[in-house]
Structure 1
Amino acid sequence: MIETSNPAMSHKGREDSLAPLLNVLTMVRKQWAIIAACLLLGTGLSLVYSKTLPRIYQAQSMVELDPNAFRPLGEKMNSAMPLGADDFWNNQEYYETQYRIITSTKVLERAVRDLGLQNDYDFFGLKAAPEKPITVEETAQTLRAHITVEPVKNSRLALIKVEDIQPKRAKRICDAVATAFIDQNLEKAISATSDSLAWLGSQVDAVKKDLEHNENTLYEFKRSNDLPSTSINESSNMIRLEMQDLNSALTRTRTRKQELLARHAELAKITTENAESLPASELLASTFLQSMRTQYVEGLRAKRMLLAEGKGENHPAVKSLDMKILESRTALLAEVKNIQGAVERDLAVIQREEAGEAALYEAAHKRAVDLNMKEIEYHRLDRSREQNEKLYAMLLEHMKDADLARNNKANNIHLIEVAVEPTAPIRPRVPLNIAIGAVIGLVFGVGLGWLRGSLDNSIKTPEQIEKDLGITFIGMLPAVEEPNAGKAKGRRVPTRRTLQSSSPALIVHDDPHSGLAEAARSIRTNLMFTNPDRPYRRLLVSSAAPGEGKTTIACSIAIALAQSGQRVCIIDCDLRRPQLHRIFERSGDRGVTNVLVGEAAIEDVARPTKVENLWSIPAGPIPPNPADLFHSDRFKKFLDDASESFDRIIIDSPPLVAVTDSAIISTLMDGTVFVLRAFRTTRPLARQGLRALADVDAPVIGAVLNDMDLNRHEYSYYHYYYYKREGYAPTQTASDGPPVDPDAASV
């Protein structure tokens, strides 16, 4: 499916998008006089105000703030001159601090003293010396309001700006403040270094006394505890080695003792019955014992052999062997006993050695424990001495650095640019002030115009009728201008002819070529073609309030219908303030009320007017109860009889909001024409009148906007109303000569 764009919809969309702008432009066009007046007023006031202000000059100097100053002695100067930190946040704090110091009381008072500014009465705006002398502190407080500090972005530079009414004084003050700030910073650094040096000197003396006390205490401790001149760690190592040797010797002695005890136990097992059961170690250690054991064993073997041969115990040979065996056994046991005695003696010696070595070890152990206790105290004293010694050395080093730094006089703030005498003032900025005043005046004027437009809720244009009231606009009648009205107001109005009429309501008849007549005929056309199948024969003309021109509209519509060849009767049903009898130059003693009370017929009260095909019926005598008359059947019959006699009936009625007469009459009409007066009828009042008609279900044809002054700027964009103002007819010369065609080309 191919989508096609709708030109009408796109045009409507563009109009909706431009609606806010058009509303603003419309408001400006309507209220241009107020806006222009406010604009001129704001511009003039700002100009006058700027001329009354004194001229202010500004001088500025540039200084460099270096948080990391030049250190000829290296980083060691940090402790002596704390000129700033290296990290970002500390630098930021440093800069902000310096900005505040520049405008501090101490710096400003120094600058005031250097310049003698407290005696410069012109600086305070005084013509003569005051009764009470101005102090330096008061001058510094006044000077602070003239100084601003502005950091240069992405740099270590700062601008010191001074404002004053005299350019030379502004320069002198700016230089004095910068110099005072730099000198104050240098003095601060030197003072801080001197204070540090004095403090370091006192600390050196105190630490020196502590160090000497520590050394003396350590000496007395060594002397009283009989400690060698060597370090206590070496003494502790010697005792430790001694204890190791004693422990090794004691271990060997105890091992030997155990060996002797085992040998003694084995030897104790040898008896007469087992004399041959000697330990192998003993046999290996003594060849004599081994030979005696051999003899004893061989004697026993020889005896067992004799016994085996059958020889008895009493056999001489056996007895001889017994004697040998006894001798050898006795000798063997005697030797074993000698060995046991030797072992016992060795054992006694070993035991004495063990006791001595154990005593020596215990003595060494005790000395080691005592030395450990002394070592703790010794190390405490030595540690205190060592700390004081290091502190003393460090303080001496810093003291020397501080002394060098004090003599060096390094400054981390430098003057980069001196102030230059300004040649032009910075304030007042007349063009800027005028622009601001113009903008304020313009905004105020637009706001005032918008407020005025918002407070004005009167009906002015046909669009407001259809948009705000929701009824159809069927026509308008322009305002009637008096002869030479434009010249009286100082404007040149291109009038084609002068209207000559006894009443504005009869202009349609008296001057059929006028713009008002053309407008009336336009209303007639709209009424005829609004409902061509069922023409409106009975028309009620009414308004919401008095003075809105409903009688003029009724007469104009009636005359325009009569000029079309129809028999028209205009009836004055305003039984409270009737006017038709004066317009048509009739007496008001006979009219509608006479017909309604039965004193006359329609033929008796309807009289032709000077307008062809137009009859009029005046109101007649004013009754006490008009509404009751309109509610009666006689009034309905009156309308029916009039409708039979005439083609059209136009009824002029009282206002809808004031009385109920028009609402009652409207129920018997084919349609009602609602009259609004431009710039007078308000929207709430018009809605109230339309609500009165809606409450009785009266048919409303539309609204007519009366008394439209087409010379007003509100209607400048209604170009199609141009000829409704003056009509479209030949113009006349001032000498009443022949008509001139306005469209003819001039030669």
Structure 2
Amino acid sequence: YQAEATLKFDPNPPTPLGQDVEGVVDIGVGTYWNRQEYYQTQYQIIESQRVARETVARLALHHDQGFLANLPAGAEPAHPRKVDEDGAALILRARLEVKPIKDSQLAIVRVTDANPERAARIVNTLTDVYVELNISDAYESTDRAIADLSEQQEKLERDLRASEEKLHDFKEEHDILSVALDDKSSMLLSEMQAYNDALAKVRAEIQEAAARHSQLSKVSADVSKLPASELLKSPVLQSLRLEYIATIRERDAILATGKGPEHPLAKAAIARSEAAKAELLEEVNNIKGATAAELRVLQSRAGGLAALLEKTKKRALELNKLEIEYRRRDREQHNLEKLYELVLSRTKESGLTRVMMLNNISVVDRARIPNAPILPRVPVNIGVGLLLGLLLGAAAAIGRGTLDRTVKTPDDVEREFGVTTLGLLPTIGKAGSGPSYYVKRRRGRKEPETFSKPELVVHERPRSSVAEAARAIRTNLTFMSPDDPFKTLLLTSAGPAEGKTTVACCVAVALAQAGQRVVIVDCDLRRARVHRVFGFSSDVGVTTAALDGDIERAARETEVPNLHAIAAGPLPPNPAELLQSTKFRTLLAELEKKFDRVVIDSPPLVAVTDAAVLSTMADATLMVVRAHVTRKDVARHALSALRKVGTPVTGCIINAVDFDRHEYRGSYYYYHRDYYGDDDAGARA
């Protein structure tokens, strides 16, 4: 049975003291997210060990064997249990559930028990405990806050008194008033400005005097450089200069009449001009001396002004430090005073809040004794079982697809490797070996498609689906390079047993059926198979022809028209060196001249380096992957080996495809259709 009670959480309880008075315990919250956090916190408190333990203690549930064993009324357990209050509280919490009602301030508290009366009694007691603990916690928090505030108030009062005394002592020590600091600072600033202006003026006069002195120093050598400014300032200097000019003109006039410098008149004129010049230079020197004296006076005055300015600056800095210290002390006192007043006010408000505190949680509906049980629910259990079965089946299918990292479809090839798929070859079965993986739909039943020689199925059954697939690959190769057909085709695979020899034979037969002279060359010098396919020995082949150049003896006719085959020949100790040799390249060039197409069956890429070497000599490199066998990481490694030697992969051929699998249905159903010729008709008969 399940009994339930309804609780209400009021996020904005009434405030008897008004909105201006804040409560110490903030049981009301503002924003939506804060309310949600508050609600979730309360739900956890209801389900807490503390509430459950108090409920157990009030109802003595740790002594109630019916509760401990979850038995209906009147039943007694076969083996009584001894549990303390904490253990019984854990049992109660396991049967307790809190469910909020959406878009409301309500929550439902439920307790499940085999006894309906006991379930209702437990729910009602638990909600009462929770409501009482909520208000008691608020009282306790308020009492702690009041005690902390009172202690803080006393400390702030002591700090405020000490700060006031320190400020008074500071003002008394420095003999200042708070209003006098600003005035003194202004006076010092004005004094500094006056000294600075006077110093700037004197420095300008110094520059002017220095310039005059410099100009007058140049006149001692050449009186023509006498500055006009000096002439304007000194009438004596101006008169002497005019006299000097007059004597010069008189001298020049006498000399211009043809009288030489030794003539008495010329000598007298020259003497007068020299005397005038000497008198002029003497006056210039007098002025220069006066200017130098004036310059020294100005420099002395500038030094005095600079000293006064520096002294005033120091006084201003000292006053500034004093002002900063005063304002810091004054600010500290005011801050302490404000904080003290705030704490004092908050302490009084907290006391009033405790007296007027209201509980913001209330019981809306108390639990009633339930009439009907809730468990077991047979229809629900059956539905859940079916749903879990479906989910487990789907998970198993998805997990299988995720863990399968093999290549399966052309989409895998193009998406994982960026390589075009040239075609898909169905799985080929051998006669007498039982049903193959490839099954054709025929007259509503499934039959295996088997062949005596799987490698020659294109020749033996030219109307079979395998032959159609090989011809489709031939067509795709033709259209990939219609103007310059691929002469040499290299077929390789990532690893062994992926069917590359079978695919190579099928492609070679399909090309021969198109009327082209084709030769298939077995370059797998480690595990040669081509000679077994066509039923001849391997005593003559690639290795012998590369050494003696006898192509006629090595290239043997086969039962397929237009198709020749060259076996591997005696296996050499180091196949890679032979395939890289000049003789092998010469052999390959001769084959390209003699035949229309050269199909090379090479070793796997991952196992040895032979295929990578051969790829550099081929016009097209085709990679065979086996569906549901070739792993993507192995194929990616093989393609990387080709790219390292600079060989682009022409395309991929997916081998051993089972078209009855779900991934090949739809767009890949091209080969899987009822397309039969005479051969298949015989098989049906």
Length-normalised TM-score, structure 2:
0.51
Whether 2:462 is the aligned partner of 1:512: answer yes
Match of 1:424 in 2: 373
SS of the residue corresponding to residue 475 of structure 2 reads helix
Tell me which of 460, 468, 471 is aligned to 1:521. Answer: 471
Cα offsets for 1:163-221 (capped at 9, x unmatched): 2113354356567889x989x99xx9xxxxxxxxxxxxxxxxxxxxxxxxxxxxxxxxx
Match of 1:702 in 2: 651
Distance 1:433 1:511, change over 3 A: same
Superposition deviation, residue 507 in structure 1: 0.9
Superposition deviation, residue 65 in structure 1: 12
Match of 2:69 in 1: 124
- Structure 1 vs Structure 2 CA RMSD: 5.1
Match of 1:474 in 2: 422
Match of 1:249 in 2: none
For 1:18-167, list aligned pairs within 5 A. 57-60=1-4, 109=57, 111-112=59-60, 118=63, 120-121=65-66, 123-125=68-70, 127-128=76-77, 161-167=110-116
Tell me which of 636, 641, 647 is aligned to 2:596. Answer: 647
Structure 2 CA distance for aligned equivalents of residues 475 and 154 of structure 1: 61
Cα offsets for 1:509-541 (capped at 9, x unmatched): 111111111010011111222212222222222
Paired residues, number:
432
Contact 2:56 2:85 in 1 (8 A): no
For 1:49-448, list aligned pairs within 5 A. 57-60=1-4, 109=57, 111-112=59-60, 118=63, 120-121=65-66, 123-125=68-70, 127-128=76-77, 161-171=110-120, 419-425=368-374, 431=380, 435=384, 438=387, 442=391
Structure 2 CA distance for aligned equivalents of residues 718 and 615 of structure 1: 36
Contact 2:62 2:83 in 1 (8 A): no
Tell me which of 519, 535, 538 is aligned to 2:488. Answer: 538
Contact 2:612 2:641 in 1 (8 A): yes
Structure 2 CA distance for aligned equivalents of residues 537 and 643 of structure 1: 7
Contact 1:573 1:619 in 2 (8 A): yes
SS of the residue corresponding to residue 597 of structure 1 reads helix
Distance 1:681 1:155, change over 3 A: closer
Structure 2 CA distance for aligned equivalents of residues 505 and 631 of structure 1: 28
Equivalent position amino acid for 1:517 in 2: A
Contact 1:62 1:158 in 2 (8 A): yes
Equivalent position amino acid for 1:540 in 2: L
Equivalent position amino acid for 1:582 in 2: R
Superposition deviation, residue 480 in structure 1: 1.9
Tell me which of 496, 500, 505 is aligned to 1:550. Answer: 500
Distance 1:626 1:727, change over 3 A: farther
Superposition deviation, residue 85 in structure 1: 6.8
Whether 2:583 is the aligned partner of 1:634: answer yes
Match of 2:410 in 1: 462
Contact 1:111 1:177 in 2 (8 A): no
Superposition deviation, residue 601 in structure 1: 2.1
Contact 2:557 2:563 in 1 (8 A): yes
Distance 1:671 1:157, change over 3 A: closer
Distance 1:171 1:564, change over 3 A: same
Structure 1 portions without partners, runs of 5+: 1-56, 67-83, 189-411, 738-747
Equivalent position amino acid for 1:606 in 2: A
Distance 1:153 1:577, change over 3 A: closer
For 1:554-573, list aligned pairs within 5 A. 554-573=504-523
Structure 1 CA distance for aligned equivalents of residues 659 and 570 of structure 2: 39
Contact 2:592 2:598 in 1 (8 A): yes
Structure 2 CA distance for aligned equivalents of residues 684 and 144 of structure 1: 53
Distance 1:483 1:144, change over 3 A: same
SS of the residue corresponding to residue 663 of structure 2 reads helix
Match of 1:202 in 2: none
Contact 2:522 2:530 in 1 (8 A): yes
Contact 2:435 2:447 in 1 (8 A): no
Cα offsets for 1:681-719 (capped at 9, x unmatched): 233333333333334334643221212222222212334
Contact 1:478 1:707 in 2 (8 A): yes
Structure 1 CA distance for aligned equivalents of residues 106 and 413 of structure 2: 70
Superposition deviation, residue 592 in structure 1: 1.9
Equivalent position amino acid for 2:619 in 1: D
Contact 1:119 1:134 in 2 (8 A): no
Equivalent position amino acid for 2:521 in 1: I
Structure 1 CA distance for aligned equivalents of residues 682 and 600 of structure 2: 41
Structure 2 CA distance for aligned equivalents of residues 65 and 458 of structure 1: 59
Superposition deviation, residue 581 in structure 1: 0.9
Superposition deviation, residue 543 in structure 1: 2.0
Structure 2 CA distance for aligned equivalents of residues 177 and 517 of structure 1: 82
Structure 2 CA distance for aligned equivalents of residues 583 and 604 of structure 1: 18
Cα offsets for 1:352-383 (capped at 9, x unmatched): xxxxxxxxxxxxxxxxxxxxxxxxxxxxxxxx
Contact 1:496 1:726 in 2 (8 A): no
Tell me which of 598, 613, 616 is aligned to 1:667. Answer: 616
Equivalent position amino acid for 2:582 in 1: D
Whether 2:629 is the aligned partner of 1:680: answer yes
Structure 2 CA distance for aligned equivalents of residues 150 and 670 of structure 1: 74
Distance 1:501 1:574, change over 3 A: same
SS of the residue corresponding to residue 576 of structure 2 reads helix
Identity %: 38
Distance 1:138 1:99, change over 3 A: closer
Structure 1 CA distance for aligned equivalents of residues 79 and 532 of structure 2: 86
Superposition deviation, residue 555 in structure 1: 0.4
Structure 1 CA distance for aligned equivalents of residues 65 and 510 of structure 2: 90
Superposition deviation, residue 560 in structure 1: 0.5
Structure 2 portions without partners, runs of 5+: 29-38, 137-360
Superposition deviation, residue 576 in structure 1: 1.1
Structure 2 CA distance for aligned equivalents of residues 433 and 565 of structure 1: 68
Contact 1:473 1:702 in 2 (8 A): yes
Structure 1 CA distance for aligned equivalents of residues 488 and 106 of structure 2: 93
Match of 2:546 in 1: 596
Structure number with greater CO (CA < 8 Å, separation at least 6) is 1
Distance 1:726 1:621, change over 3 A: farther
